[in-house]
Amino acid sequence: MSATPRTPVPQNLQDPVPMTLPRLAEKKRLSEPIVMVTAYDYPSAQVAQEAGVDIVLVGDSGAMTVLGYPSTVPVSTDEMLVLASAVRRGLETPLLVGDLPFGSYEASDEQAVATAQRFVKEAGCDAVKLERGGTSAERARAIVQSGIPVMGHVGLTPQTATALGGYRAQGRTSERSPRMRSRSRKRAASRSCSRRFRPPSRPR
Amino acid sequence: MEGLEIPVIGIGAGPATDGQVLVFHDLLGIYDGHAPRFAKRFAEVKAQMVAGVAEYAAEVRSGAFPAPEHTYSIDDEELERFRANLD
């Protein structure tokens, strides 16, 4: 039986021009919303490609969504590189960002640069993402200086969710919000290319 | 988003950011773990996948699959020659 109705195949919406950092900056300048989605393998990358998104993130969320770990903490760099390489093979024009997993960048600038280079050399990523402020801002600066664009991530940072008291929206108080603002500014000062931001929705 | 030169991508942060990100499996309804409020489901892909595999399993068990159109065949004459060669 074919009980499930076939949804019409959408037209191919892919952007024929590769996404670059200057193009993202232009989108921001023109207030054109930037569309980002995660992908973890060849078919999901092809879906993102054909749907015409701007940025594809090989998130460490893949630890949970495709590898079945209970959190993002256990996933290794080698595992992330398998996922990122598969995504690269299915992706043409969106910017490809690889997520540095827990334990792969915190120890030193050298460790951070070496891991970021693996994502670029072995998996073909265009940029890398890492979590938090503090020393992460220094790591981000070191990676950027090595020639690899960095996406920061402040707010709810799952790699350190235990320290935050679980998966809870961050920056909801007048005391915490300035800390996040300060972290964001530190990230901007380290010339990161963008960041994810996860405070609560403002009621409209 | 004013105040920062770099693009800011939000998740659960409201519409003021320069862009949005969602997890593939959340937005397509593939992952059935805890879904936060911001993870809007734009499709129910897991339900379709389960239905598809269940239908396949049912057709194998009932004999409905594979049907003649899913099968490769051989000319009767060729089959006869093959059988003769077996002796």
Give the model confidence (pLDDT) of A38-93 as tens digits: 999 999 999 999 999 999 999 999 999 999 999 999 999 999 999 999 999 999 99
Considering the entire predicted model, what is its pTM? 0.86
**A204: helix, strand or coil:** coil
Distance from B70 to chain A by nearest Cα, in Å? 16
Which H or E run contains A162?
A: helix A161-164
Token duo for residue A136 = 């992460």
- Structure-block tokens of residue A148: 């690899």
Residue A186 to chain B, least CA–CA distance (Å): 11
Q: Please report how many Cα atoms fall inside a 13 Å half-sphere around the Cα of residue A151, on the Cβ side.
A: 28
Is the model more confident about A95 or about A2?
A95
Nearest chain A residue (CA) to B5: A188
Select from B11, B21, B25 the residue whose CB has the most chain A CBs within 10 Å, as the one to mutate to test that interface.
B21
pLDDT band at A7 (very low <50, low <70, confident <90, very high): low
Residue of A nearest to B35 (CA): A167
Do the chains contact at A194 and B8, CB–CB below 8 Å? yes
Residues of chain A with C-beta less than 8 angstroms from the C-beta of B31: 64-65
The dihedrals phi and psi of A18, each to the nearest 5 degrees, come to -60, 140
Tokens linked to B50: 């389960």
Q: Residue A13 corresponds to which tokens in the numbers above?
A: 């919406």
Contact A38 B22 (CB under 8 A): yes
Identify whether the C-beta of residue A197 lies closer than 8 Å to the C-beta of residue A191: no
**Which residues, at least 6 apart from A143, have a Cβ–Cβ distance to it below 8 Å?**
A105, A112, A113, A116, A128, A130, A150
Residue B62: Cβ-neighbour burial (10 angstroms; 0-12, 13-18, 19+):
exposed
Kindly determine whether residue B14 and residue A48, on different chains, have CB atoms separated by under 8 Å.
no
The H or E element spanning position A154 is strand A150-154
Is 80 exceeded by the pLDDT of residue A175? no
Average the pLDDT over A9-34 and give the result.
88
Residue type, A186: K
Q: Give residue A170's pLDDT.
A: 78
Q: What is the ipTM of this complex?
A: 0.86
Question: What tokens appear for A176 in the block?
Answer: 């915490």
Interface of B with A (CB under 8 A): 1, 4-27, 30-31, 33-34, 36, 38, 48, 51-52, 55
Chain A residues with CB inside 8 Å of B15's CB? 204
Whole-angstrom distance, CA of residue A75 vs CA of residue A159: 10
* Ranges of chain B with pLDDT below 50: none
pLDDT at A27: 96
- The predicted-structure confidence for A148-174, as pLDDT tens digits, reads as follows 999 999 888 888 777 777 777 777 777
Q: Which residue has the tokens 């090989």?
A: A58
| pLDDT tens per residue, range A113-152 | 999 999 999 999 999 999 876 788 999 999 999 999 999 9
pLDDT-derived band at A199, boundaries 50, 70, 90: very low
